[in-house]
Amino acid sequence: MFGKIKLAQGSISIGDQIINIKKTGEWFEYLRGNVRKKIIGDILQILPAPAKGYGVKLMMVRLEEEIVIAPGSRVEGFLTVPVEVSVRAGEVEVDRFSLGREKYALYGTLERGVIVRYSRGSLQEKPNGIGVLKVRIINKGTSWGKVDRIVFPLLDVMYYTKDRAFYPLVEVIVDRGIEAINTGEPPMDGLSVVGELKKLSFKMRW
């Protein structure tokens, strides 16, 4: 699914989306719903992209079960989250689409809040689904902490295998407040990478 493909007549299934490829004379026709492109060449890349949708900069994952963590403790696990797919010919983006239904929410107050990409999930020991987020929660404070949601900044860097897309590792630091850090680092060994490596943090105020 993810990676470089050599075009041939047929269909490609990616989650709930289907791409149809038709050979017409000297070019290929790329068809997905109402999207139609002519490809002069025979190589495309299907790559994961952060779920920015309409240009949001943050994703919020509300946890199905709150995590209550003792001082000095840490825990890590995986969440299933939305991703987007970028279809490219070289550096040219041919198509971009979300997998599954797009959901958004207001994080904060009506006066000072921001629109975020929204998802719900439960922390798991192993990755599951197409879009995966690995989180590491660390309580650096002197008292017990509680995490009921994770709001982290989206970067233009993703990791992937043939079957799954991974966001960079996100660390959630519990102290007097809660800070979510998109480390830009690979969440696991053996993953391919796309995008520019960066690091960005966000203090969760609400």
Indicate whether 101 pLDDT > 90.
no
Q: How much is the pTM?
A: 0.93
The chain-wide mean pLDDT, for the chain, equals 95
Cα 111 to Cα 82, 115, 125, distances in angstroms: 27, 12, 38
- pLDDT-derived band at 197 (thresholds 50, 70, 90) equals confident
Cβ proximity of 194 and 160 under 8 Å: yes
Residues 2-22 pLDDT 10s? 999 999 999 999 989 999 999
Cα 57 to Cα 37, 60, 117, 169, 204, distances in angstroms: 29, 10, 8, 17, 14
| Amino acid 110: pLDDT | 87
| Amino acid 35: pLDDT | 96
| Amino acid 204: pLDDT | 93
